[in-house]
Amino acid sequence: MSKYIPDTNLEQEAMLKQIGLNSFDDLYSMVPESVRLKDLNIPEGISEMQVVDTMKAIADKNVVYNSIFRGAGAYKHYIPSIVKTITSKEEFLTAYTPYQAEISQGVLQSIFEYQTQICELTGLDVSNASVYDGAVAAAEAIFMCLERNKNEVIVSNTINPETLQVIKTYCESRDVKLVVVEDNNYKTDKKAIADVINESTACVLVQSPNYYGVIEDVEELCKLAHDSKSRMIQVVNPISLGILKTPGEMDVDIAVGEGQPLGLPIGFGGPYLGFMTCKKDLMRRLPGRIVGQTSDHNGNRAFVLTLQAREQHIRREKASSNICSNEALCAMTASVYMAALGPNGLRKVAINSLSNAHYLAEQLNALGFELAYKDEFFNEFLTTSKIDPKTLETKLADKGILMGLIVEDKILWACTELNTKEKIDELIETIKEVC
């Protein structure tokens, strides 16, 4: 049986007509012409070997860096071989949740194990079966907090700008008042939040470690939100939870994040994984679905789709979310990765990432690249640049090194366990040459 069912040309035309478009190109009208690939220019009738050679030649135009010191939401970690070995098995190689639980126990169990691990990681009570990505998870978490008389949300501008854009799009679609609070030297301004929070505030959302690497005062922000009878949402880097306090320990109501660091390779936009966990009293507001454990009529362990808001399918105008699917294969990848490492392994990855980042910061500081703040950071940090950042980026790229992301006139550096002392020393020597 084919792994997919193709559409006929007539069916494709009917679908395009239904959404008011004339061609598939219209679907990409928002993508700049300069980055669109019009044609691979492969002649008809050539052999398979010739096609492979042609595709390899095209692929060789890609730049592959020897060292990567960039994060900003996507991080290059070491992925144990067992992760790909297990998740590439044919019986698991699907991203869709099965409806017929009685014949899909393996996939349902993998989702259940993932949910359990994410709850252990974040210290919260309930996890759903995942959503599309971390930005969507943040936006969906906001909708979980809305009430009839609470239709305002406060978001710190120290979160990932791409996440903020998704949140803005969601809020505009539902006429939710969004208040974006400016930072105080790359850290959430608690006073600014205190000045705008009120009885109509449904939730406060912060990211910690934030986009600039700073570890936020989540516990204080949590208390501020709860004193005003608002919910607290924290966007987290899952690797950081190997050593930092969990959202559960800090009394956070909902924890969300991007699961890409958990065994998913850096892709050109994905596919990635949005994880969501919350306190038990918010369980019925979680978008998507929850897989649960039960017993069959013989008393054996069994798995079922335990909870899903029926409004998502039937009374859609009353639904808080339109998400009906999940990232099951990516979630399973994260689950296998966490199982392969175990708690101690995850802690070592976090410690090595932090240690490498602080070593790099010290070495850069010695060259005149000063930290932009004095706050604590995890594996990412912002520095000034001794020379024009664009020039430095080009020179380092010529040496096979991808430096940190240019943010205004500064550089946002990132390290994982792969950025060893040897690679950092190589980077520093190269910067010396450039300077």
Residue 312 has pLDDT above 70, yes or no: no
349-360: average pLDDT: 98
pLDDT at 99: 60
What stretch of H or E contains 218?
helix 218-227
Residue 23 has pLDDT above 70, yes or no: yes
99-126: average pLDDT: 88
Burial 300-318 (b: 16+ CB within 10 A, else e): eebbbbeebbeebeeeeee
282-289: average pLDDT: 89
pLDDT digits (tens, 9 = 90+) for 70-106: 999 999 999 999 999 999 887 777 645 556 666 678 8
228-254: average pLDDT: 98
Residue 57 has pLDDT above 60, yes or no: yes
Average pLDDT, the chain: 92
Residue 311 has pLDDT above 60, yes or no: no
Q: Specify the DSSP class assigned to residue 147.
A: B
Compute how many other C-beta atoms are within 10 angstroms of the C-beta atom of residue 335: 25
Q: Distance between alpha carbon 79 and the CA centroid of its chain, in Å? A: 17
Query: Under DSSP, is residue 202 helix (H, G, I), strand (E, B) or coil?
Result: strand
Q: Specify the DSSP class assigned to residue 435.
A: -
Residue 306 has pLDDT above 90, yes or no: no
pLDDT digits (tens, 9 = 90+) for 44-54: 899 999 999 99
Residue 313 has pLDDT above 70, yes or no: no
Whether residue 255 contacts residue 234, with contact meaning beta carbons closer than 8 Å, is answered with: yes
pLDDT digits (tens, 9 = 90+) for 139-172: 999 999 999 899 999 999 999 999 999 999 999 9
C-alpha to C-alpha distance for 256 and 141, rounded to whole angstroms: 8
**281 to 272, 277, 278, 299: CA distances (angstroms):** 28, 12, 8, 29
CA atoms within 13 A on the CB side of 435: 15
User: Whose CA is closest to 238, among 330, 170, 324?
Assistant: 330
3-state helix, strand, coil in the chain (%, to 5): 40, 15, 40
Compute how many other C-beta atoms are within 10 angstroms of the C-beta atom of residue 77: 19
The pTM score is 0.89
C-alpha to C-alpha distance for 215 and 236, rounded to whole angstroms: 10
Q: Distance between alpha carbon 378 and the CA centroid of its chain, in Å? A: 17
Q: Give the residues across from 302 on adjacent strands.
A: 294
Least confident residue range of 13-17, 21-25, 280-284, 312-316: 312-316
C-alpha to C-alpha distance for 253 and 247, rounded to whole angstroms: 8
Six-digit token string for 289: 């679905």
C-alpha to C-alpha distance for 204 and 193, rounded to whole angstroms: 8
385-408: average pLDDT: 96
Burial 167-191 (b: 16+ CB within 10 A, else e): beebbeeeebebeebebeebbbbbe
- Residue 309's pLDDT band (cuts 50, 70, 90): low
Residue 2 has pLDDT above 50, yes or no: no
Domains of the chain listed by start with CATH number: 67-79+342-434 (3.90.1150.10), 81-337 (3.40.640.10)
CB-based contacts of 207, cutoff 8 Å, min separation 6: 156, 158, 159, 160, 163, 216, 234, 235, 236
